[in-house]
Structure 1
């Protein structure tokens, strides 16, 4: 076996008290440059994100709830075949928009007409359970919004509430 010849060790440089320190190696400068570049990219990205995000304008303050009773109570014949059944319902509309409240007051006759027609299409079987009444409630709310929209009026009705329902 032959051994590779050993390389002689480099002689250590004597430290002299007044001598200038040796220049940092190239590897250290490259690392410093990469870190600086990364910090600049992150700062630029953060600034771009901050400047490009949509401005958050003051949120529109909702007014107090306004409950508008559609009086008198609705009384309609139900569409039951072979039997005479009636539906009596007290209805209120909820809005927080003053323009919508004014539009409801102005267009109450049209709203009542459309709701009477809708209620008269129902059968007692459809309205026996909670889900049937909730379905009718959703249809009635859509009908009210549709009337207001057709009249080019504010249609921000939040809810239609049955405050009384009697099926006889």
Structure 2
């Protein structure tokens, strides 16, 4: 009987070591960085007066960890709404040059983080990237 127990331990020991090694790899590994693309692109109008201007923005949100990625995807409609509101308040001057676009990107990131902080208690989004920004 003791021989059988010893044999089972000898057979099972390598599997137990492999499981522990995999758990250590997961714990020691750096968190996964992911990009959540807001698809389809955000499209709307901005400005005032007789001629409305139009924008199209392809946006990606950088998050760390699969849990943050899932939560951001869950709140995507709210995020999209916040971004549409932000873009529609812009003027041609606030979208005209590179510095203005960078300020808009930073403001968009700030607003997305505020929305997620209200909903989830944490900002979750590390960065916001314009993959494409077209103004017409």
TM-score grouping bracket, smaller chain normalisation = 0.7 to 0.9
Q: Secondary structure at the match of 1:165?
A: strand
* Structure 2 Cα separation of the partners of residues 70 and 89 of structure 1: 9
* Inter-partner Cα distance in structure 2 for 1:81 and 1:65: 43
Counting only pairs closer than 5 Å after superposition, residues 50-61 of structure 1 correspond to structure 2 as: none
Residue 109 (1) aligns with residue 112 (2): no
Match of 2:5 in 1: none
Q: Is this contact kept in 2: 1:94–1:159, CA < 8 A? A: yes
| Residues 1:84 and 2:52 are matched in the alignment | yes
Equivalent pairs counted in the alignment come to 109
Per the normalisation by structure 1, the TM-score is: 0.60
Q: Which has the higher contact order (CA 8 A, sep 6+)?
A: 2
Say whether the 8 Å CA contact 2:56–2:134 is kept in structure 1. yes
Q: CA deviation at 1:155?
A: 2.2
**Distance in 2 of aligned mates of 1:95 and 1:127:** 26
In our comparison, the structure showing a higher alpha carbon Rg is: 1
1:121 equivalent in structure 2: 89
Instruction: Output one character per residue of 1:103-136: Cα deviation in whole Å (capped at 9) or x when no partner.
Output: 1011111111111000100011111111111111
Alignment match, 2:134: 166
Equivalent residues of 1:100, 1:156 under 8 A apart: yes
Q: Is the 8 A contact 2:38 2:58 kept in 1?
A: yes
Identify, as 1 or 2, the structure richer in strand: 2
- The corresponding residue for 2:98 is 130
Q: TM-score, normalised by structure 2?
A: 0.74
Give the corresponding residue for 1:50: none
**Which consecutive unaligned segments of at least 5 residues does structure 1 have?**
1-59
- Give the RMSD, CA atoms, in angstroms: 1.6
For the residues of structure 1 that align with 2:95 and 2:45, how far apart are their CA atoms? 13
Alpha-carbon displacement from aligned partner over 1:124-152 (angstroms, at most 9, x marks no partner): 11111111111110111111111111112
Change (3 A) 1:126 1:61: same
